[in-house]
Every structure is written in structure tokens, then in C-alpha cells.
Chains A and B, each alone.
Chain A
């Protein structure tokens, strides 16, 4: 089975529904049901063969990713989709090839091997970075009390995006 998912906290479940409408595929469901309902995680899950091959695959083939590990994974995923399109998953050789692809996904790679992944040449743009920021960004501010002999209270604003070091430094 080929599965494409996006996860969000329950507070943003409507965003997942909107994305499902945009892509005209997938379904929104509970992804992690732990604790009170207001802490649950939902997911947009695209997993039917029709949705994957007819709706998602053409989009993935037209896109590149800015993270090296994501670019690596999407290339493997597209390869797997094409094997299924060609019905090769029904053969022993095809199943072996799929197992080999699955074993090479970034989640199975050591940190050293992640560092060796080729650099993505994706050109960044505001929409891509906005989406990425919605997922990984963090905003905060700190109120700094006035120093001695000063009446001014300081405010320090922070915006951070944190990634594992195998992704290297990317300039947003």
C-alpha cells in the first residue's frame, strides 16, 4: 500500500479538509487519539490506488522538495507508484524492488547516510516557505524587564524553524 499523509492538530482539522477538497482526493481522519479530544492529531490520508495514481502521482512528478530527505523520499515514492502503475507489484521481482525502495526511505537511513543525500535544488518561494512555516515554524516573544536607571521594557521577538543538521543550512 502506498500512503501519503499530512498531520495536523485538531485545531487545524479544517485546513486538512480544505486540502482534501483542493487535491480532490484523500480523507481526513483521526491520526492519534490520545488524551482529551482537544489534543488529538488528525491526518489527511491518501491511500487508495485510484487517488494515488490518478490524482497525486501527476502532482508529485511535477514538484520538487526543498528538504533533501523529502526530495529523496518523494523520488522513491514516485518510483514505487510507477511500479504499481505498470502492475509490477504483482510479480516477485517487482515486490522485491518495492521492498528495496521501502528500505531506502529516509526514515530508515542513518544520520551519516542522510548527510550524504544530494542537495535539493528547489527554488524557494513565499508559498512554499509559508506552508513549511505553518508546519515547522515557531513564533515567540520575551518581555525584558527594564534595566537599572531605565524606564523602558524591552520585547524580543523570535521566529525559528528547526531542522536536523543533516539538512544543512538553507536560506529562506
Chain B
């Protein structure tokens, strides 16, 4: 399991992150998607099945 708090530096900017903070940000600016898409075999789209592609 991930440590509770980590200090991460990106481009000289220091971020002190925790799971609680990340999921707080997610609650406001995040989304989840369950995408059921048919298999499409390239641009022509000639071959299409009904199976779910994961």
C-alpha cells in the first residue's frame, strides 16, 4: 500500500501529497468511465464484433 504522505518535486515545485488530498481533488475534478466499446479493426471499420474490449 502507498505511503500516506509523499513529497514529490516536479520542475522545482514541491508537492506534498496524500491519498486523502488526491481523492479530494478527484471528487471535485475527476471522473470514472466504464466504456463498452466494440472491437474495431482499424480505420476501415470493416470488422466489428459485439465483444467488450478491455
Chain A residues close to B by CB (< 8 Å)? 1-8, 14-15, 17-19, 21-24, 49, 58-59, 62-63, 65-67, 70, 73-74, 76-77, 80, 84, 89-90, 94-95, 98-99, 101-102, 105, 107, 125, 127-136
Say whether chain A's binding surface is mostly helix, strand, loop, or mixed.
helix
CB atoms of A105 and B34 under 8 A apart: yes
CB atoms of A18 and B8 under 8 A apart: yes
Which single residue of chain A is at the shortest CB-CB distance from B28?
A135
Q: A98-B34, A127-B20 are in contact. Are A14 and B13 (CB under 8 A)?
A: yes
Chain B residues close to A by CB (< 8 Å)? 1-2, 6, 8, 10-11, 13, 15, 17-37, 50-54
CB atoms of A2 and B54 under 8 A apart: yes
- Complex CA gap A18/B19 in Å reads 12
- With contacts A59-B1, A77-B32 known, what are 8 further pairs, Cβ within 8 A? A1-B35, A3-B31, A4-B32, A19-B17, A65-B27, A98-B34, A132-B24, A134-B24
Which single residue of chain B is at the shortest CB-CB distance from A15?
B15
CB atoms of A132 and B51 under 8 A apart: no
